[in-house]
Amino acid sequence: MIDETDGRITARTKENTMEQRELLNFLHRLECLKTNGRHSTTVGGITETVAAHSWRLAVLAMLVSPEFPGLDGNKLIRMCLIHDFGEAITGDIPSFLKTQANEATEEDAVQTLLSTLPEPHRSELSALFREMDALETQEARVYKALDKLEAVIQHNESDISTWLPLEYELQQTYAVENASEFPYLRQLRALMLEDTLNKIHDAKEKQS
Rounded CA separation 174/164 (Å): 14
Amino acid found at 131: E
- Rounded to whole angstroms, how far apart are CA atoms 30 and 18? 16
The continuous run of DSSP H or E covering 37 comes out as: strand 37-41
Query: In sequence order, which ranges of 65-120 are alpha helices (DSSP H)?
Result: 73-82, 87-90, 100-114
Residuewise pLDDT in 10s, the chain (208 residues): 444 444 444 455 555 688 999 999 999 999 999 999 999 999 999 999 999 999 999 999 999 999 999 999 999 999 999 999 999 999 888 888 788 888 888 899 999 999 999 999 999 999 999 999 999 999 999 999 999 999 999 999 999 999 999 999 999 999 999 999 999 999 999 999 999 999 999 999 998 7
Residue 41, pLDDT score:
95
Burial 77-104, CB ≥16 within 10 A → b, else e: bbbbbbbbbbbbbbebbeeeeeeeeeee
Query: How far from the centroid of its chain's Cα atoms is residue 66's Cα?
Result: 20
Residues in the chain: 208
DSSP states of 131-195: HHHHT-SHHHHHHHHHHHHHHHHHHHHS-GGG--TTHHHHHHHTTHHHHTTSHHHHHHHHHHHHH
Q: How many CA atoms lie within 13 A of 27 on its CB side?
A: 7
Q: How far does Cα 157 stand from its chain's mean position?
A: 18
Q: Do residues 176 and 196 lie in contact, with contact meaning Cβ atoms separated by under 8 Å? A: no
- Asked if 147 and 186 count as a contact pair (C-beta separation under 8 A), the reply is no
Tell me the domains of the chain and their CATH numbers.
24-207 (1.10.3210.10)
